[in-house]
Amino acid sequence: MKNLLKLQYIVRLALIFPLFYSCQRPIADNLNNEASILEAGDLKENPLLMGVITTSVNLNNKTMSTLYGNTIAVDFAKKNSGFKYPAGSVLYEVTWEQQPDSVWFGATIPAELISVEKISFNRETEPSYALYQGRPLKKDKNDHAQVRLIQIISQHFAVTP
């Protein structure tokens, strides 16, 4: 009986010891600061805090993009397949370079931020387009603004379960 108690004691210690040992290991920093918008610069709000409308990947350029929107834009995109967003809607197309994920084999995650494209919808005028690039983000000129505007607003809401 004493041997059985000793064995139970040893087994319990053997099971508990790894828990204490694992608590001593430093936790790896899994925050992707490289892809974050830490220095907004000319951009007045952080689009990464808004609702996601859709995502896309360009395998040729090795980039990935996410289309974000304010509450008005996301609500419209959920219910409509049209491209005439109501006044007050704001869309942000954020584009990053891709990099392999160190945690999941075969997966890719955002790397360096390439650009943020902003589209604002007003009552009286056509939608306005602005391009932001660099660190911190600075407003930049785009020779293909009208083409990009059409490409961005023609994206459909990604239905998720």
pTM recorded for the entire structure:
0.79
Tokens of 35: 């892809």
pLDDT confidence of residue 33: 77
Of the candidates 83, 157, 96, 92, the one whose C-alpha atom is nearest the C-alpha of residue 129 is 92
- Report the candidate in 77, 95, 91, 86 with the shortest Cα–Cα distance to residue 130: 91
Q: Supply the pLDDT for residue 31.
A: 74
Q: What is the reported pLDDT for 16?
A: 63
* pLDDT for res 124: 77
| pLDDT per position as a tens digit, 70-109 | 999 999 999 988 788 999 999 999 999 999 988 889 899 9
3-state secondary structure 22-45: HHCCCCCCCCCHHHCCCCCCCCCC
How would you classify residue 59: left for phi > 0, otherwise alpha for psi between -120 and 50, otherwise beta? alpha
Label residue 155 exposed, middle or buried (CB < 10 Å: 0-12, 13-18, 19+): middle
Give the DSSP letter string of 42-96. Answer: T--S-GGGSEEEEEEEETTTTEEEEEEE-HHHHHHHHH---S-PPTT-EEEEEEE
Which residue ranges make up each domain of the chain?
Answer: 41-153
> Which residue numbers in the chain have pLDDT < 70?
1-30
- Domain 41-153 CATH assignment equals 3.50.70.20: yes
